[in-house]
Copies of this chain bind each other. A is one copy, B any other.
Amino acid sequence: MTDHTARLAEFRDRIDSLDGILLHTLGERFRITNQVGHLKAEAGLPAFDPDREAAQRARFHEIAREVGLPSELVEQLMAMIIDQVKLNHEKIRGEL
């Protein structure tokens, strides 16, 4: 194995490990937002909270700047997560 391929293999191991963290963190995040969905449905709280979403967006962009992530990527990630949360909450409301 050349030095380059050995280094590449090492980088890939680290990427795989980070992907594990990413997906497990996302999984845990949706488990909690599902609990939020149940809580809101039980309590008759509104499904959508524009102040909370604005605070989250500001926080996402603040952390993104700290870690050097492009703001377009962060917007895309946030939209992806919010769409999934809304879908999950709709299912939860349908179940009650």
Contacts and interface: CB of A to CB of B under 8 A. Distances in A.
Contact of A19 (B39, B45, B60, B69): B60
Interface string A42-66: 1101000000100010011001101
Contacts of A76: 80
Interface residues of A, number: 48
A23 interface: yes
Contact of A15 (B8, B32, B63, B70): B32
A8 B4 CA distance: 50
Contact of A29 (B7, B8, B19): B19
Contacts of A59: 16, 19
Contact of A63 (B20, B32, B68): B20
